[in-house]
Chain A
Amino acid sequence: MTARRLLTRGNIGLALLVVVLLAMPNLASAFFVNFVLTQTMMLGVAAATIVFLARYGGMVSLAQFLLVGVAGFMFGNAAVEGGARGLNLGMNPWLAVVFAIVITTAVAFVLGALASRTTGLYFLMLTLVYAVIGFFVFAQIVELSGPGGITSIQRPDLMGPPVRLYYAGLVLSVLVYLGFKALGRATFGLTLQGVRDDPIRMASLGYNVPMHRTLAFTLAGFVAGLSGVLHVWWNGQIDPASIAIGPSLILLIMAVIGGISYFEGAWLGAFVYVLAFTYLRDLPLIDQIGITEARFNTVIGAVVLLIMVLSPEGLAGIAARVWRRVNKPASAAPTAPAGGPSSAA
């Protein structure tokens, strides 16, 4: 690939966006960076795994937040020493990261293998079952967590200042975004898309369909695990309620708001969600019309409903359409992706 071919508008837009995001700690308040943007990065990575499975594999998963949680619980169990609950292994924090990611990936492989022969609604239901079982596993097995969860989880010294967590989230987001995009053009990604479109034909061509689905789920689990480690560093604690069905659904809602067939949509959806959660209640007169913080879920539900009706491809879909209209004279490529969240927000 030549340098000239890399200079597409999308790539330039992405590069500009990354530059702006890198400069954000100097442009915006600490709270906006450390709370809004850091959460956006972490949740965006987790939501991107939903997009990856849906877009390439045709699998809509509700178990991704469970895998985020598995990584968090495993890191907590491994890294904490002398805590009130959990295994208290007292490992070196970086070794604990490896431990957490390995366990999460292994769990994802097993869960993926079990679900590999299901598709569509059945896959969705099965992953919903995973999420529910995961909640009870951590709530009931007191050796791993129990209802009180793992508290006092410290992040490694290298990640001490909160802004470094933001940068880590940003770097991970860029890597995951580029990685997932590149995977779509690699053999595995192309095969997976073939499996998505016509599994019977792919099987008759000699491809191992369940294995491809399993590996895709495992890869998504690995990435969700990375997000989970960041999340538990940021939050300092994790408990079963962290991975209950509510947060699992919210992650899917983020992907839907952003656009479940666009990788950009994962971060865009996460950004809009966190922005709404944080600032909606501050809008002037908003409480006068009954939208208090207690009604936040109603608002998010209405937003999702609106998006489902008006633009099933989510906000990124709207951005892509606008992008195509703006570039109509030169629009030879039918699915030029949006330049990222900046072009829509």
Chain B
Amino acid sequence: MTGLRRRATFALSLATGLALLTAGCGGDGDDTAGLPAEENVDEPADAGDDGDDGDEEAPDASTGDDSTVRLGILGQCEGPFGGFHEDVVGGTALAMVNHAGATVNSTTSALDGFSGAEVAGTPIELVGIGCGDDTPDRILQEVRRLVEQLDANVIIGPLSGDEGLAIAEYAKANPELTVLAGISGSQEQTLHVQAPNYFRFYGDGAIWNAGLGDILHNQEGWDTVAVIADDYSFGHTSAGGFIADFCAVGGDVTHRVFPPLGTTDYSSYIAQLPDPDEVDGYFWAVGGTGTQASLEAFVNAKGDLTGDQHAGNLFFNPDLAQALGTDIAGAYIGGFATLPGDVQTPAIEEYLASADDTWETLPGSLSGNEPAPPSVAAAFGFFYGYYTAGVALVEGLAAVDGDISDKDALHAAIGGLTLELPYGDISLDENRSGIVDVGLSQLAVNDDGEIVQETVAIVPGVDQTFGGTFSPDTPSPSRDFPECEERDLPWEGNAIPVVDGVPQQ
């Protein structure tokens, strides 16, 4: 190696190292006056520092006191749900625009954030967006960065099931923090962890399948079903809700197959499912990048997907599961945070229009991360879950008149909210998890020959205990829990029918 090359190498390394160190010190240069590291971690929200980071530019000089809500959003920019990063940040941004007077910083991307949000004189400042990859370790690193480095005192997120569990535990260990879950749908994060500062203004995976088993068994005549679901907390919760519902009304689950989340080749898992002539139907709860891959593996191994023999959770919709084919018309789908597009009310129309007014386009997941009208993303649950969290933050702040110094009062106010939202009112149970209306739908072929979702029933007021099936004393949903047994469910036979997008009650 020549001397020149050696010097160049050294200079390059030195420059890289110095740049990183500068960034590092820039991000932390506030605390050099002898603040022991022992302090301010258990109380991250009001660590006594003055001005948290040089790289966040000037306006946050007031950090360190309780006069500003310093908001961090936890999304996923990598992993099976990485495509929803724009959607989820957009949800919270729209809530700030609609309810806190904010303006977005870009009309073509939500990731540039918003500014000017304020409630009852208390500004809401977006300090950072965390980038998860669907693993609990990564989301913990991201939340620590937001809270302990960027001094966030309110977190909105996370997106996915296992992440929710990790963040709920983090919230429990950091009682000064306020966390409003984004769209993470595992049951355990609220029913079992029960952190007093962790709120979820939407349902969980089990809730969203309430009433589906009732329809399939009593209406469609399914007696036996095989279940295939992602092998993680949301997959377990979603399958658990369906199994509890289907078995409660007298059905039988013959197979439970759980491929790991993010599997690319599903053929060995599909092989574990019975053939179509051995079972009345299949229930799918495979999400993220696996939805498409698993359905294609089924078509390759066992033949076309037919509407009379398949049903699924929220991922089993024509936007995400493009392998469905037109034979799938007639298949049933569980609910999600929003209702399918055929249900239109003035509130929903106003909400969707507000999204289109806020941005010109958004590259959301349903449009393949290509620019599309923002209402496409806003009408789907990922965006909407983060929207509800943002609205809850605004209304919680309004309830305490913008005073966030008393965290107990703020948390009590948020816990007692009943949000009047476009897709239905939401209140919380004693574990701070949403009690929601669930919209079940069916796939149909429209006049253009495209597969669309049509709402068939709304199951009102479903809570996490699922009619007593689940409680803090029962195990979390898993590969073999809940067992298949008959029981009474409060909504059996009580679902509100929906015809042509209009609830019949």
Contact = CB atoms under 8 A, between A and B. Distances in A.
Interface of A: 24-36, 84-85, 139, 142, 146-149, 151-152, 161-164, 166, 235-237, 239, 241-242, 244, 247, 272, 275-280, 282-284, 292-294, 303, 306, 310-311, 315, 318, 321-322, 344-345
Interface in B131-188: 131, 134-137, 140-141, 144-145, 148-149, 162, 165-166, 169-170, 173, 188
13 contacts: A25-B36, A29-B31, A29-B35, A35-B145, A146-B479, A149-B162, A235-B140, A237-B137, A241-B162, A244-B135, A282-B55, A283-B20, A306-B12
Contact of A166 (B13, B37, B166): B37
A244 B136 CA distance: 12
B231 interface: yes
Contact of A147 (B47, B53, B166, B231): B231
B233 interface: yes
Interface of B: 5-6, 8-10, 12-13, 16-17, 19-21, 23-24, 26-32, 34-42, 47, 49, 53, 55, 77-78, 82, 85, 131, 134-137, 140-141, 144-145, 148-149, 162, 165-166, 169-170, 173, 188, 192-193, 231-233, 236, 260-261, 475-476, 478-479
B268 to A, nearest CB: 13
Contacts of B476: 84-85, 148
B344 to A, nearest CB: 35
Q: Which DSSP category, helix, strand, loop or mixed, fits chain A's interface?
A: helix
Contacts of A237: 136-137, 140, 166, 169
Nearest to B6: A321
Contacts of A142: 478-479
A84 to B, nearest CB: 5
Contact of B148 (A31, A239, A244): A31
A310 B231 contact: no
A26 B34 contact: yes
A325 to B, nearest CB: 8
B137 A235 contact: yes
Contacts, number: 174
Contact of B37 (A33, A84, A152, A236): A33
Given A161-B38, A294-B82, A278 B24 contact: yes
Given A25-B36, A242-B137, A318-B9, A152 B232 contact: no
A277 B24 CA distance: 11
B37 A25 contact: yes
B392 to A, nearest CB: 25
Contacts of A152: 169, 193
Given A148-B232, A344-B17, A345-B17, A35 B144 contact: yes
A265 B443 CA distance: 58
A294 B132 CA distance: 9
A278 B231 contact: no
Contacts of B188: 84, 148
A31 B478 contact: no
Contacts of A294: 77-78, 82, 85, 131
